[in-house]
Structure 1
Amino acid sequence: MFFSPRLIAFLLAGLISGLTVAFLAFVEGVTRSMLFVVAVSSLITSFFLILFAIEILVFREVNKLYKTIHKLRMRDFSFSRSTIVKSNNPFRKLNDEIFVYVARKQKEIEELRRLEQFRREFLADVSHELKTPVFAAQGFIHTLIDGAIDDEKVRDKFLSKAAKSLDGLDALVKDLVALSQLETGEIKMNFGTVDLYQMTLEVFEQLENTANTRRTSLKIKANPPGSVLVKADPQRIAQVMTNLIENAIKYGSEGGKVQVSFEEEKKQYAVQVRDNGPGIPPEHLNRIFERFYRVDKSRSKERGGTGLGLAIVKHILNAHKSKITVMSKLDKGTSFSFKLDKAD
């Protein structure tokens, strides 16, 4: 049987009114008209007081509890802290506490699931990346053991290919170790004054052969012209610049250009590495800093690389309290940007 707040209030009010009249009936000198007035007044007063108590203090808060449970079932965990107010009402406090607690726990569960999914994907990616150079080197060496070592030309060719595969494996392991150390904070940044302009010229010299092979021109633009002195770890920022410029050369258009620009701001320098290549499709932009993520896997494999470069760049810049951003338009090119504090 369903009891509404009004019915419950009326029954309780009637009980209180009946008890009051029964008590007064034993009092000497009380007339029937007086008993009638007391009965009606106590009934009405008790009815509204009880209705208020039940409706406002109990039923309304219980309904809020049901709404909270419904939101939790629907996985709607959005809540504003301004809505959680201090109240002496135990139902309201219980409602808020349940919602906040379950919302936090559910977010923790979802984060654990995300990390578990990331772990599985990472192990699969590492296994795949390690398998390729290991199997390649293994195949070349077994071929030589099976008799091809007697042919000098075949021997030199296969040994060269096996060495190349092992060099790729060595680079992959080093990048994995570096990335792991950056994520756990084992690698500490040794900050000093770095001239980014001079460092970029040195990176251009190192990558000159790669740029010439792809007929890519390398340019620097500084505003204002001259030295670009920033506070950074020289070794790690050199790693960042090398990775970004090398990627721009490899994945830009053949016969294109790569430009590194420096823009002076009040307390920082804005750095941009831009190419005029084919660009990156919009659906890939949010994932290019993930480990082993490649936009075009076939082309990436052909041009080398471990697939960890941009992930390492991101962590190095995070350690410099900076954030790297990417903008790209198809057939227009791609630009990577970040900021570094000026040197004192």
Structure 2
Amino acid sequence: MQTKFKKSYRFAVNTSLYITIFITLLTSVFLFYFFEFIWYYVLGIMLFTYLFSFLIVQFRVEKFIYKRVKKIYDDLTLLESASLTKGAITTDMRTLTQEIDKYARDKKIEIETLRVREQYRKEFFGNVSHELKTPLFTVQGYIETLLDGAIDNKAVREKYLQRASKGIERLGYIVKDLDMITKLEVGDLSLNIESFNIIELVENVFDMFEMKANKKKITLTFDTDYDKPIMVNADKERIQQVLTNLIVNSIKYGRVKGTTEVSIENLIKNKVIVRVTDNGEGIEKEHLPRLFERFYRVDKSGSRKEGGSGLGLSIVKHIIEAHNEKIYVESEYGVGSEFSFTLEKAK
């Protein structure tokens, strides 16, 4: 399909005007000294000179510039420059310069983005490889030991099969969580939006992990007594998953005899903000920007002892964003952390 051509007359108009003024002045002086000065002769010469100059300059310059500018557009078309190829080809140098500058800036941003993504891709595949390799090698080691003869020893057999089972369970966590994140990212995981009492949901999560918290003597509590229900619109099952991840993390990294506190506050007219606060070990500021990345771990060794897939916070972020809501984190190392997210209030 032929590219549309946008003409520019500014150069021809200005150049023709300069030529006309010069020719008119020269002709006036010539007529004044050698012939009788007649103003309408001068006016006729001026109009003829201007029109003739304009046509010649416009035609020649347009043809000259168009050939070279079209080559630029064609070259940029090969580079798939959407911003230039969709528009008309222009011979106006200022407009062309602006378009080229914008194209260069966009390409620079695109290159930087690709570099960041490439680095993220490398880290992601490295993390996936490491996370899968650990339980796989563990299971493989136990099975090989059993095949080498340990299977005849009942005590060893049961112990190794239980450990192998835990390794398989960990692999299942990783695959399941990766599948969920993928579905959330591409929009394949549908949300079942309903109205429910967020206070009641938090209490249910507290009940689920009361025994886990008691092992570290951590108190699960609200910041105040909520006498009335607070109704929100969201996917109840997914929000329970969010609260589960946040509360489990607060227990996992909480200090012995510590506290995990949940508060629900009115944010604006139709929003509430849910805060999960602990007085655990906290997170250093350098880790906060990457905290919600897949497999990113603040504690590279200790966190693995606690199990899990390493995808919990990434899933939390995707679930909240799937609700078109926001999630925030504030933390001070050695003091504690606070994770908070917004939800829509039910009418």
Which TM-score band applies after superposition, normalised by the shorter structure? 0.7 to 0.9
How much does 1:225 deviate? 3.4
2:277 to 274, 277, 280: 274
Tell me how far apart the structure 2 counterparts of residues 143 and 293 of structure 1 sit (CA, whole Å): 32
> 1:161 corresponds to which residue?
163
Tell me if 1:215 matches 2:208.
no
2:106 to 98, 104, 109: 104
> 1:28 corresponds to which residue?
34
Spell out, residue by residue over 1:37-91, the C-alpha distance to the aligned partner (whole angstroms, 9 max, x if none).
xxxxxxxxxxxxxxxxxxxxxxxxxxxxxxxxxxxxxxxxxxxxxxxxxxx9923
> 2:124 corresponds to which residue?
122
> 1:150 corresponds to which residue?
152
Compute the TM-score of the two structures, normalised by the length of structure 1: 0.75
Equivalent residue of 2:190, what SS? coil
Tell me how far apart the structure 1 counterparts of residues 148 and 323 of structure 2 sit (CA, whole Å): 53
Q: Kindly provide the amino acid, as one letter, of the partner of residue 24 in structure 1.
A: F
Tell me if 1:184 matches 2:186.
yes
Worse overlay, 220-229 or 273-282:
220-229
Tell me how far apart the structure 2 counterparts of residues 338 and 223 of structure 1 sit (CA, whole Å): 20
Equivalent residue of 2:223, what SS? strand
> 2:204 corresponds to which residue?
202
Tell me if 1:320 matches 2:323.
yes
Query: Contact between 1:289 and 1:310, CA under 8 Å: does it hold in 2?
Result: yes
How much does 1:321 deviate? 1.2
How much does 1:114 deviate? 2.3
> 2:233 corresponds to which residue?
231
Tell me how far apart the structure 1 counterparts of residues 98 and 105 of structure 2 sit (CA, whole Å): 11
Spell out, residue by residue over 1:189-248, the C-alpha distance to the aligned partner (whole angstroms, 9 max, x if none).
110012111111111111122111111110023575321210000110010000000000
> 2:314 corresponds to which residue?
311
Query: Contact between 1:223 and 1:262, CA under 8 Å: does it hold in 2?
Result: no
Tell me if 1:332 matches 2:335.
yes
Equivalent residue of 2:34, what SS? coil
Cα gap change, 1:309 to 1:337, in 2 (>3 Å): same
> 2:95 corresponds to which residue?
93
Q: Kindly provide the amino acid, as one letter, of the partner of residue 331 in structure 1.
A: G
Tell me how far apart the structure 2 counterparts of residues 222 and 187 of structure 1 sit (CA, whole Å): 35
Tell me if 1:257 matches 2:263.
no
> 1:35 corresponds to which residue?
none
Query: Contact between 1:179 and 1:312, CA under 8 Å: does it hold in 2?
Result: yes
How much does 1:161 deviate? 0.6
Q: Kindly provide the amino acid, as one letter, of the partner of residue 139 in structure 2.
A: A
Compute the TM-score of the two structures, normalised by the length of structure 2: 0.74
Tell me how far apart the structure 2 counterparts of residues 262 and 309 of structure 1 sit (CA, whole Å): 22
Tell me how far apart the structure 2 counterparts of residues 188 and 108 of structure 1 sit (CA, whole Å): 31
Query: Contact between 2:199 and 2:226, CA under 8 Å: does it hold in 1?
Result: no
Tell me how far apart the structure 2 counterparts of residues 247 and 29 of structure 1 sit (CA, whole Å): 102
Tell me how far apart the structure 2 counterparts of residues 192 and 238 of structure 1 sit (CA, whole Å): 13
Query: Contact between 1:230 and 1:340, CA under 8 Å: does it hold in 2?
Result: yes
> 1:299 corresponds to which residue?
302
Tell me how far apart the structure 1 counterparts of residues 134 and 146 of structure 2 sit (CA, whole Å): 19
Tell me how far apart the structure 2 counterparts of residues 229 and 138 of structure 1 sit (CA, whole Å): 49
Worse overlay, 135-144 or 203-212:
203-212
Runs of at least 5 residues in structure 2 that lack an aligned partner in the other structure: 1-17, 37-89
How much does 1:146 deviate? 0.3
1:137 to 136, 139, 147: 139
Tell me how far apart the structure 2 counterparts of residues 221 and 149 of structure 1 sit (CA, whole Å): 53
Worse overlay, 111-120 or 325-334:
111-120
Pairs aligned (count): 277
